[in-house]
Structure 1
Amino acid sequence: AIIDHHEVPLGMHSMARLSLARLYVDHHHPHKALILLTKVSKAFAAITDEIQGDAYTALDQPEKAEQAYKSAITALPVTSPYRRYLQLKEANIGVVP
């Protein structure tokens, strides 16, 4: 597996962890996703925070989900259209803009 292989290009481990973490959330294993996300490079902060928000939402922890989504939004450039998508995720857990 890429996650365990030592001779892969920089960033591939993190990208593989992010993909697997998203699968864990989608398949009702948010705790596993949160553990896996602790090993992702800071270069992927916005995506990591978004998936953490999704995991906390799945765990019915809206305060932690809100913090994670806000952190993801902050990590993105102000002009990024992805910020709006994250704001919609916030709205889905009851955060008022």
Structure 2
Amino acid sequence: MDTILYPLEWFVAFVMVGFHKIFSTIGLNAESGWTWALSIVGLVVVLRILLIPLFVKQIKSSRRLQLIQPEMQKIQAKYKGKKILSPARSRPRK
């Protein structure tokens, strides 16, 4: 499992140390907990920005499902109460 997650661990460490160096350079105490706390906030912001394309895709997919919802309800109403057999069950046994 360590080998699979190594790139993610490397990325998180790289971003955290990068933000820590930036905050230390602008005058925050390097040993302070505030510097690391702000580094965590920076990491969260970076991850949120990287996940924006996935959020957009999810929203578009949800909207498409809402558009076909009336058609799905018609199909559900048409087959309500009917027992549907799978192809494997509809064949007679030998």
TM-score band w.r.t. shorter chain:
under 0.3
Taking structure 1 as the reference length, the TM-score comes to 0.25
Larger Rg: 2
Taking structure 2 as the reference length, the TM-score comes to 0.26
